[in-house]
A = this chain, B = another copy of it.
Amino acid sequence: MTTGSTARRPRFAYAALQRFSMALLGQVGLPADQAHLMTLRMLDADLLGHRTHGLWFLSSYLQRLEAGHIRADAPLEVIASGPASFAWRANRLPGAWVMDQATQQMLAMAATQAVVTATIADCSHIGCLQSYLLPLVEANLFVTLSATNPGIASVAPFGGIDAVLTSNPIAYGIPTSAEPILIDQCTSIASNSFFTAFAERGEKLPGAWLLDAQGQPSDDPAVLQAKPAGTILPLGGTAFGYKGFGLGIAVEALSLGLSGAGRLTGPDMYGQSVFLQVINPVHFAGLPVFLAEMDHLVAACRASRVRDGAPPVRLPGERALAQRREQMQAGIELSEEVFARLRPWASKFDIELPAERAA
């Protein structure tokens, strides 16, 4: 979810931010390969415009590494494996590093298999789902990725008022002949961090997207912090929220049920479980017809007229990929808030802050 004010933000060179992040992560004892992958995925998130999963998150990662909630030296256990599937238990290893291992394994298996499916139990926060789609979709694979935190509950079942699920995101990567379609969305009306951002700014929401603790629709993000707390409505809201509820349950089954690390074992808030699958169109009707159909769909969507004065139709991921290109060229925008969170860490470890790039 893209958040933040419209004020001009300073720009920073990719390489400078990378060095800065790796230096900080190194200081809390993370090996270089793990620090490298965590850094790449945070920078991906900033590039794609998912600011709450970019360097904004680095201070939380540093805290979690110091507190042992992220464990650099945990074993990566193989629970099950077959020619086209694997199930791992990651024991709080860094999410970005575990996901990279899984991505390499999937690409290797997808060379010969029609469909490759993986689950990862109990890794650390993996961050922005969209960034993991890219290497797989670039290999002309259809990708499904879902991940969720069994220790967090903020969404009530449709018709109820007690939080059971959380925002339970699901992402799909779809190859085309040109830019891929990159879908990444939560199954609640919006994500936990979306509402946190409104609450921190002291703003009301544009609509009644929450329920208060008595189950009344509310536009006040403060109800999520109240005691007793309110809940986020599932996608579809008060009228069609049974659909978001259904999708949220599917994400729980895929990520938590299949991986074997769900809400039953009473985990803390730092573990995530993941479902990842790739489908190779070559083994169905073939890649050329798949790409032709997707190209046709994209063209038909783009050709759709819009309301007078409205911007043209955008495909999922289109704006994110445009931001990525622009920021790779002109530097990555970072808000002062990101540095406010990182300055104490830089000071503690005597690491110089990255220099703003000349405009």
Q: Which A positions have Cβ atoms within 8 angstroms of B?
A: 79-80, 82, 84-85, 87, 113-115, 117, 119, 121, 142, 156-162, 164, 172, 174, 181, 183, 185, 189-190, 206-207, 214-216, 235-237, 239-240, 242-247, 249-250, 252-254, 256-264, 277, 279, 281, 283-286, 289-290, 292-294, 296-297, 300-301, 303-308, 310-316
Contacts and interface: CB of A to CB of B under 8 A. Distances in A.
Contact of A84 (B114, B206, B300): B114
A306 B242 contact: no
Given A80-B285, A313-B157, A293 B240 contact: no
A240 B189 contact: yes
A187 to B, nearest CB: 8
A236 B252 CA distance: 20
Closest 9 CB pairs of A and B: A260-B285, A160-B304, A215-B307, A262-B293, A85-B114, A183-B246, A157-B301, A162-B304, A264-B296
A209 to B, nearest CB: 8
B159 A306 contact: yes
B285 A121 contact: yes
Nearest to A316: B246
B85 A284 contact: yes
Contacts of A263: 293, 296-297, 300
Given A258-B290, A297-B249, A316-B246, A285 B114 contact: no
B190 A159 contact: no
Nearest to A301: B157
Given A161-B304, A162-B304, 15 more contacts: A79-B285, A80-B283, A117-B284, A160-B301, A172-B246, A174-B250, A235-B236, A236-B236, A242-B316, A253-B297, A256-B297, A257-B290, A259-B285, A260-B290, A262-B296
A43 to B, nearest CB: 24
Contacts of A87: 283-285
A277 B277 CA distance: 12
Contact of A279 (B256, B258, B285, B312): B258
Contacts of A181: 249, 253
B246 A258 contact: no
A70 to B, nearest CB: 22
A157 B249 contact: no
B305 A162 contact: yes
12 contacts: A84-B114, A85-B284, A156-B304, A160-B313, A174-B257, A181-B249, A254-B279, A257-B293, A258-B290, A259-B285, A260-B289, A264-B292
